[in-house]
Amino acid sequence: MTDVPSNVASLVQEQAARILRLPFALRAPILDYPSVSRVQAYWERLRAGRSMPARTEIDPREISTSLEYTFVAETVAPGVARLRVAGAHLNDLLGMEARGMPLSVYMTGESRNELANAIRQVTQGARAQLPLRSDAGIGKPALDGLLVLMPLRDRAGQPTRILGVLETHGQIGRLPRRFRLAGPVTRLVDTPVEGAPAQPPRNQGRPVLTVIEGGRA
């Protein structure tokens, strides 16, 4: 067997080392969720320093470019929210009309308890953010997503409504698609400034980001 010249072997090793040092070989792309950002900004603007806005204040025209990913849910039991209004993308993920379905229909069994915990937090005034992953299967490409839940008051002034966004990256494929948690569930808690003017004073109502227990990757 012919020996490989030492200079050729050194060149091969050097090229291999360069490949291993390339950034794309080690780093996953950072996903952007523009519809989530737009609806969150709208909710923040609408509440105007209060702990939360009312369901009746929501104007779909203000978030028209994100409506397909947006929904309004009603809490019907502790930790249980049922969809009252659902955008087209939520229908697409199920392959059927989503209105009237529990929000947990989008989650795998082991993740439903953590969704219920997040819903309980939201009915107490927090905002919850759940990173999602639908694993690949036959006819189902891997799908990444982000679910955000924000509290709303009903006509009686109670926090029984939820403004939510479910935005995904990837092809939907064979239906239905269900998700597991892809990371920690986070919540944003505010110091309430009830009765504040449209422009709340600085350093009041400042959000604090914390982590809800659970949220296994």
Q: Please give the sequence-ordered ranges of beta strands (E in DSSP) within 79-156, or none if there are none.
A: 80-86, 127-134, 143-152
- Which distant-in-sequence residues (6+ apart) come within 8 Å of 128 by Cβ? 118, 119, 121, 122, 148, 149, 185, 186, 187, 188, 212
Residue 8, both tokens: 């050729």
Model confidence pLDDT, tens digit, residues 108-151: 998 999 999 999 999 999 999 999 999 999 999 999 999 999 99
| Alpha carbon distance 21, 14 (integer Å) | 11
Res 195: pLDDT = 44
Res 131: pLDDT = 97
| Alpha carbon distance 107, 98 (integer Å) | 14
The mean of the pLDDT values for the chain is: 83
Model confidence pLDDT, tens digit, residues 170-217: 999 999 999 999 999 999 887 544 444 433 333 344 454 444 444 443
User: For 42-61, what is the mean pLDDT?
Assistant: 97
Res 204: pLDDT = 41
Q: Model confidence at 29, in pLDDT bands (50, 70, 90)?
A: low
Q: Model confidence at 6, in pLDDT bands (50, 70, 90)?
A: low
Res 135: pLDDT = 96
Instruction: Give the pTM.
Output: 0.77
Tell me, which fold does domain 32-211 have in CATH?
A: Beta-Lactamase (3.30.450)
- Which distant-in-sequence residues (6+ apart) come within 8 Å of 169 by Cβ? 31, 143, 144, 145
User: For 40-63, what is the mean pLDDT?
Assistant: 97
User: For 99-105, what is the mean pLDDT?
Assistant: 98
